[in-house]
Structure 1
């Protein structure tokens, strides 16, 4: 029996198979995409089904003062409030602007915990301390608004900052109890979806965030190449891009996305870019001491919690939280970013393994339960 040549050996399909190859490609590629996505979501589901670390319930009454700033701070208010309810026996929540001293006098809490503190009168904090109640502030925007925080931190018993480089500054101001405590992820908001996402949401590359000038300058040189993929941007100020009229159909401008919608977008992306804002942007920052930013932003944990590959710019303290090359991919220049995007879009296994490793690390080490329990352990050691 003569040997039958394969399609490859023949150079072209036989006449009775004309069109077979192209039809296979049209049908096979979606099938392969579905298989790969199903594999990713199956493994992700197993990771998040592992029982989380359980912390002992503390016999404490916490008065939590929310930021009072609305979105995008309100999801953090919600995350901390929900977490506190799972860790202490009693929680009272009031908004910044309410008399904290009066509330303290009425309920006699064990701790007054304030998020951000921008709208809190320091006289109120002094009054609370005079009542013999402990006070703590968890600062949200270090080092970008450190000019504001340095006027307030000395009024608290405990200062928690999400920026490593601000610890020394506050200690130099005379604060005795200063601790580095980055935000975590609220897993009720950010998690991998168990079902395949809608095709209309799917993107190869996605960026969600405001178009600070450092982001514009960084992405501008590679934008034409980046936009060759199924890429989208979401956030304010992206009309600063010189090419905005060309790419505006790929840019959702001016829309604030809530955590549920953001998580859905992360789930629908193969790669999410994280590019931190600059500590030197005088147009929006209040950082006259020019304190450099070393710590990862909250978005770092939120992207990883969705089981999506994150490409992040390098930060000095990033490796404390995720191992580069294994749990996160970092880039050092626009060209480096572009090359890594091209690589991971064509290396599915490598992309998925890093995304899953980041997911596992996030659920194990970076939840709000872990962060808030650490805060309580410090105050009530």
Structure 2
């Protein structure tokens, strides 16, 4: 199967879309297009329209599409995150040609109102990272499919040469719940911070932005990794960073909520908590016992390699594409 994949990479080499694109090429023939959405310059591939409700939507230019497909005829076209979609006219043209269109949202439910609800119905297949968003799409007549987060274990991997210099690591940007956690955790543990924006809260020089291989190294510097499940908009969600930390062989501590149990088992693969006080208590129970942390990390990584890689997610998508193609050929 030949796939044309559109994406852009605001976090560099460890960007989710970049890793997904790399692993797609390991599964099938794929042409990867970086739409240059995050360069700070106007994208040669994208444009906005005049509708004020569509200001968060990035439409792929019809002329660029037709120029590209003059030399490359895909079986499927994927628009991966970034608020990107083919125009309605191009969707119709590709459907006429028997080419399946696939849309993927990686920041739901937060971006549903500004992005997904405006173009999800145009795609033949549409995927969301958030279980809660399935009902949001259903309410507008779209049968969205769940595409959970995963990891690329060839990239995010254990690095035995990297010293575990912290008891606990937090990788992400500062938010109210994270600031409260750091304030409390600092009283008990050696906490490593990675991410942009901590400086304004007086937590520098401990924090720095890490991308590419530096991101992988950072995930290997802690004996335990804290995964915060709350999104910017306040939804509870399974985060991609959790999968990446697991892939790096770092023991993960995260809030307890039902959706998580579909991916990892509390107690044997990850550690759950329901309050900051309980998190501190459980860290104090685990950190003095390296073998317990190692067992957790090994169990979780084995589960990830079995069930939660981007290769496996792409196999799911490509299987759906093939079913769709067979249906249109009848």
Whether the TM-score (by the shorter chain) exceeds 0.5 is yes
**1:170, 1:352 → 2: CA distance?**
40
Matches of 2:200 and 2:130 in 1, distance apart?
Answer: 28
- What's 2:15 paired with? 75
The aligned counterpart of 2:5 is 64
| Correspondence for 2:187 among 212, 217, 225 | 225
Q: 1:377 aligns with which of 308, 319, 323?
A: 319
Secondary structure of the corresponding residue to residue 207 of structure 2? strand
Q: Distance in 2 between matches of 1:131 and 1:374?
A: 23
Aligned position for 1:162: 129
Equivalent position of 2:217 in the other structure: 264
Bigger Rg, which one: 1
Match of 1:338 among 280, 305, 317: 280
**Alignment length (residue pairs):** 295
2:277 counterpart SS class: helix
Distance across 2 between alignment mates of 1:184 and 1:202: 26
User: Which of 234, 249, 266 in structure 2 is aligned with 1:324?
Assistant: 266
Partner of residue 236, structure 1: 196
Is residue 211 of structure 1 aligned with residue 166 of structure 2? no
Residue 140 of structure 2 corresponds to which residue in structure 1? 173
Distance (Å, rounded) in 2 between the aligned partners of 1:69 and 1:263: 17
Distance 1:325-1:258 versus aligned 2 partners, 3 A rule: same
Q: Provide, for residues 14-71 of structure 1, a one-character-per-residue CA deviation record: whole Å limited to 9, x for no partner.
A: xxxxxxxxxxxxxxxxxxxxxxxxxxxxxxxxxxxxxxxxxxxxxx1111111x2532
Residue 212 of structure 1 and its aligned partner are, at CA, apart by 2.0
**1:145 aligned partner:** 111
Where in structure 2 are the equivalents of 1:27-42 lying within 5 Å?
A: none
The 8 Å contact of residues 13 and 19 in structure 2, kept in 1 or not, is answered as no
- Kept in 2: contact 1:267–1:308 (CA 8 A): yes
- Cα distance in structure 1, aligned partners of 2:161 and 2:9: 35
Q: CA RMSD in A?
A: 2.2
1:121-167 deviation line (CA, Å, top 9, x unaligned): 53343443343311001111011111121111111110111101111
Contact 2:264 2:270 in 1 (8 A): yes
Deviation at 1:101, TM superposition (A): 4.3
**Secondary structure at the counterpart of residue 216 of structure 1:** helix
Supply the distance in 2 between the matched residues of 1:322 and 1:115 (Cα, whole angstroms).
Answer: 25
CA drift of 1:343 comes to 1.2
Question: Corresponding residue for 1:14?
Answer: none
- How far the C-alpha of 1:361 sits from its partner, in A, is 0.7
Q: Determine if the alignment matches structure 1 residue 252 to structure 2 residue 207.
A: yes
Q: Aligned to 1:317, what secondary structure does the other structure show?
A: helix
Q: Deviations over 1:67-114 (max 9, x none)?
A: x253258732332222222222x2112233263344345422110011
SS, match of residue 151 in structure 1 = helix
Question: Quick check: 1:312–1:330 contact (8 Å CA) kept in 2?
Answer: yes
SS at match of 1:252: coil
Task: With the length of structure 1 as denominator, give the TM-score of the two structures.
Answer: 0.71
Equivalences for 1:121-140 in 2 at 5 Å? 121-123=86-88, 124-140=90-106
